[in-house]
Amino acid sequence: MNKVIEQKVLFKGSTAEQLFDIFVNPKKHSEIHGSSETTISSRAGRRFSLLNGNLKGKNLLIVPNRMIVQTWRGNVWRKEDPDSILSLVFTNTLKGAQIDLVHSFTPDQFVELWEQVYWQPIREYLKRNPG
């Protein structure tokens, strides 16, 4: 559980604002996962529930269109496991937008899950909903 994941992911043709909105807009967040239960906010201090309640946490810091810092806790984690800490930084680039991710105190399978559960579904969402 002490694994730290660091990733830089480019989304060609998108903007930092679009990507940030996907992470804080419950309708858009729900759409990328095809899940019906998503509660999330763009305000610090607010609790959230994602993936039909399988993941819960709290927004620690929100810098609109630039940064999100959250605690995360999966429903299958052991009681003694600490909450993980997720940091996402959104940056516009010449080719689109980039997300810099640092996710600490994570289970080993989270490396693959980021690609499967977030990056690929976000790319598909952006193809269906450009600009």
Tell me, what CATH number does 50's domain have?
A: 3.30.530.20
What's the pTM? 0.92
Of 85, 96, 20, the residue nearest 58 (C-alpha)? 85
Residue 109 within any structural domain of the chain: yes
Residue 55 within any structural domain of the chain: yes
Alpha helices, DSSP H only, in 1-131? 16-24, 26-33, 110-113, 120-128
Residue 42 within any structural domain of the chain: yes
Residue 7 within any structural domain of the chain: yes
Domain range enclosing 100: 3-126
- Count of domains forming the chain: 1
Residue 69 within any structural domain of the chain: yes
- Please give the chain's pLDDT, 131 residues, in tens: 568 899 999 999 999 999 999 999 989 988 888 776 788 989 999 999 988 888 899 999 999 999 999 999 988 888 888 899 999 999 999 999 999 999 998 876 676 788 888 999 999 999 998 76
Residue 131 within any structural domain of the chain: no
Residue 41 within any structural domain of the chain: yes
Of 113, 126, 95, 111, the residue nearest 3 (C-alpha)? 111
Residue 130 burial class via C-beta count within 10 angstroms: exposed 0-12, middle 13-18, buried 19 and up: exposed
